[in-house]
Amino acid sequence: MAALPPEYLDPNTPPEVVVTDVLPPRIDDPTLGVPLGPRDPDVPAPPTDPVHRLVTVGDSLTHGLTSGAVSRTDLSWPAVLARCLDVPFQVPAYGGPLGGLPFNIEGLLRRLQEEFGDRISAIEALSLPFALQRLADQNEDYWERGDGSGPPRTDLRYDNLGIYGWDLRDSLSYTGGRAAARIASNPAHDDLLGAVPSNDNDIAAWSVLAPFGVAATQIEAAAWHGRNGGIDTLVAVLGSNNALRAVVDKKVLWSGDGFDDLDRKGSYNVWRPSHFAAEFAELVRAAEAIGTRRVVFATVPHLTIAPIAKGVNPQAPGEKWRPGSRYFPFYTDPWINEASFDPTKHRHLTHQQARAVDSAIDQYNGTIADAVRHARGHGRDWFLFDLCGVLDGLAYRRFVTDAEARARNAWQAQRLPAELADLDTRFFRSDRTGRLQGGLFGLDGVHPTTSGYGIVADELVAVLATAGVAAEHVDFAALRREDTLNQNPPALMATAFDIATPFLARLVSRGGGH
């Protein structure tokens, strides 16, 4: 492969990152064309009549976070998939005055609408910051000192083991006991803005892992299901948080020493491909030891597509870096006006950095695909779900509206069901007239809406069909009715963002991360 010219490259990118400028082909065959080989003698036989039909491990996408909070976990993609499979499926639940942990932006806007109606006058605008602070403080009090601060229930062992903000190392090493100890040793304190409760990620982790004991990691919790009745299908969607913070924070910090240390890895926000491969190899070894009939691994999406990274070209608004390119010159926060964007004032990624992050993710996905190929060759019924290809196929500004970029990258569109055909991947905007744009991503600009999660679930139905697992496709008409953000868009969304950008920007930037 010929090296790209210097103008395509960021000089701080590690040499091991193979930077490319063309979209990799979508993977449509979950078996990767590898028939099941003979089972190795040392590979335990899978359970013949597993009790647990579906178990999922992952990060915020699996946990069901949307618009800044895990709230309707019964509408997460694992729960929707379980409906399609018609199998029992236990998920954790989260309450609170706004509905969910850490901070439900949609819930906030609904509460504001209850107070102000569907429009805010000039006089009322003066009181809006005080209303925001009061509602945020109520949310903080609930999780730090109120009912949300109590011990989690331990009588249900959940089938959805997703924990928002977690990367590969967290899944492997972070125990429920560590989360509980961190909560106990880090007393809650009032934050002036109160946007995010103290210890929110540890509260979430402990809520999922407590039923499995203080020594349980996320992977060990899955293994419990394997030991106690066996698992029919285990789905693992991990790796996004090995690069997501770079896109949310608009800065790139490549991994170095301590990337695999729980106490040191926070210094980095993009894992070098070799470091990702080392972590993923440990995940593979752990998965091999779990009593499950089949495993589905998902690829990592190109995170620069998420609307939290708004592509801008202040010199030629709406234009890419070059005709036919996937990339805009800069990527900034979604509330920044393109024409007024200033790289000396606004935080941003360059197109060179975005290209490097996407290229590293391509190498992550090569590692994941190689693991599935190897497992199938040795008799393990493992499959690949190309989540990356699904998101690429929906990328509105990158491909849908750019014929040159579509042609140059041999782009494959992701088919949307008729019930969702009006939705796209732009940052969600609505006012008193209804939704103005977006609809596949929630108000944090990172996580899908209920409709977006339905697309993920439906694609997994197709993957499992390859494995011979019978399931109904998602009832998108019914699911759309349950998608409150799209079915009843907040009337004050545009107004609140215009008036209270500093406050809401903090919530969106938080993105449900660690």
pLDDT tens profile 393-403:
999 999 999 99
Report percent pLDDT > 90 for the chain: 87
pLDDT value for 513: 47
Confidence check: pLDDT of 52 > 70:
yes
Confidence check: pLDDT of 503 > 70:
no
pLDDT value for 128: 87
pLDDT value for 194: 61
Across the beta sheet with 231-237, the strand order is 52-58, 231-237, 292-298, 382-385
pLDDT tens figures, 174-206: 999 999 999 999 876 665 556 789 999 999 999
pLDDT value for 418: 97
Confidence check: pLDDT of 276 > 60:
yes
438: alpha, beta or left, given left = phi > 0 and alpha = psi -120 to 50?
left
Least confident of 106-115, 361-370, 491-500: 491-500
* Displacement of CA 142 from its chain's centroid (Å): 25
- Strands (E) located in 50-209: 52-58, 65-66, 69-70, 101-102
pLDDT tens figures, 443-479: 999 999 999 999 999 999 999 999 999 999 999 999 9
Q: What is the DSSP letter of 274?
A: H
Cα-based torsion angle of the residue sequence 142, 147, 153, 156 in order, rounded to the nearest 10 degrees: -70
pLDDT value for 83: 98
The mean pLDDT value for 343-372 works out to 97
The mean pLDDT value for 482-492 works out to 96
Confidence check: pLDDT of 87 > 90:
yes
Render 209-262 in DSSP notation, one character per residue. Answer: HGGG-TT--HHHHHHHHHHTT-EEEEEEE--GGGTHHHHHHT---B--TTTT-T
Predicted confidence band of residue 511 (pLDDT cuts 50, 70, 90) = very low
457: alpha, beta or left, given left = phi > 0 and alpha = psi -120 to 50?
alpha
pLDDT value for 512: 45
Contact 97/82 with Cβ under 8 angstroms? no
pLDDT value for 18: 97
Least confident of 207-211, 339-343, 363-367, 382-386: 339-343
pLDDT value for 191: 59
pLDDT value for 231: 98
